[in-house]
Amino acid sequence: MWYVAVAAGSFRRYATYRVATVAGVFTNTVFGFIVAYTYIALWDARPHLGGYDQAQALTFVWTAQALLAASSLMAGGGLDELQERIRTGDIAVDLYRPADLQVWWLSADLGRAALQLIGRGVVPMAVGALVFPLALPADPATWGWFLVSVTLGVVVSFALRYLVALASFWLLDGTGLALISGLACLFFSGMVLPLRVFPGGFGEVAQLLPWAAILQVPVDVLVGARGGGALLRGLAFQAVWGAVLLALGRLVQSAATRKVVVHGG
């Protein structure tokens, strides 16, 4: 219940930024239109590119806009605050709390993601569905699996961003690394272009990287590109990357904690 309260508090905290949420909805919707018409031109020239028809490609566009903030596809999320606390030394207060540092921030990030999914995800998706022919499923079970996949994707995203934030213990200012991480996420998650479109071995490797678990897999679940065994393999892929990256985060956290103790933080 302790961590549930942290998640709920994070949800309420981000819910107070109503103007920022409205601005985010407007921005996501505008970019959705820009990218959608680009995809229409591309899929008119190359039908069934990457195995998607045009409706599935357009669904990819609007799902990506709906998940942009929730899955922190441009990095940051709530963990830029953690980076700043490490830089200023306020992290010492966090380490004295009777709670696990990683689970605390994971809970806060899940609360943030839930608010962003509702506040900045529903409206752009609804607008896209009203204007374009999207390949949205009629089966409620598919929507359920999609939400499970989105949750796993958020965990993978958190685990990656947590590692970047912890690097500030050694870099002192992790802004540069965060920018690099954000660019890698945008490209290798499929935000720029679905990973299925990438040619040959490069595309195959890109779909095995952890960023693919953040966006590519959830969208494939929603548009029906993953069903049956492929659906289970996709969810397992996300779960394995989440577990591996969280475990790596704990190792780095342990090393960072010893560094703080050595330096008297």
CA distance to 49, 57, 195, 203, per residue, from 199 (Å): 11, 17, 9, 5
Give the residue-averaged pLDDT of 188-195. 92
Confidence of residue 262 (pLDDT cuts 50, 70, 90): very low
Give the pLDDT confidence score for residue 91 in this predicted structure: 85
Kindly report the CA angle at 230 between 227 and 235, in degrees rounded to 5? 100
How would residue 177 be classed by pLDDT, with cut points 50, 70 and 90? confident
Residue 264 binned pLDDT confidence (cut-offs 50, 70, 90): very low
Question: Which residue in the block uniquely carries the two structure tokens 């990357």?
Answer: 241
Q: How far apart are CA 219 and CA 56, in angstroms?
A: 9
Torsion over CA of 247, 235, 124 and 58, rounded to 10 degrees? 130
Flag whether the pTM goes above 0.85.
Answer: yes
Indicate if the pLDDT at residue 125 is higher than 50: yes
| Stretch 62-88: mean pLDDT | 85
Please answer whether residues 97 and 257 qualify as being in contact, where contact means their C-beta atoms are separated by less than 8 angstroms: no
**Model pLDDT for residues 131-161, shown as the tens digit of each residue:** 999 999 989 999 999 999 999 999 999 999 9
Collect contacts of 12-19 with beta carbons under 8 A, ≥24 apart: 13/111, 13/112, 14/111, 14/112, 14/115, 14/116, 14/119, 15/115, 15/119
Contacts of residue 127, Cβ cutoff 8 Å, sequence gap at least 6: 29, 32, 62
pLDDT beyond 80 at 7: yes
Confidence of residue 259 (pLDDT cuts 50, 70, 90): low
Cα 149 to Cα 221: distance, rounded to the nearest angstrom: 8
pLDDT one-digit tens code per residue, 13-27 = 888 988 988 999 999
Cα torsion 46, 64, 163, 240 to 10°: value is -70
Q: Give the model's pLDDT for residue 176.
A: 83
Q: Over pLDDT 70: what percentage of the chain?
A: 96
Q: How confident is the model at residue 88 (pLDDT cuts 50, 70, 90)?
A: confident
- Alpha-carbon gap, residue 150 to 166, rounded angstroms: 24
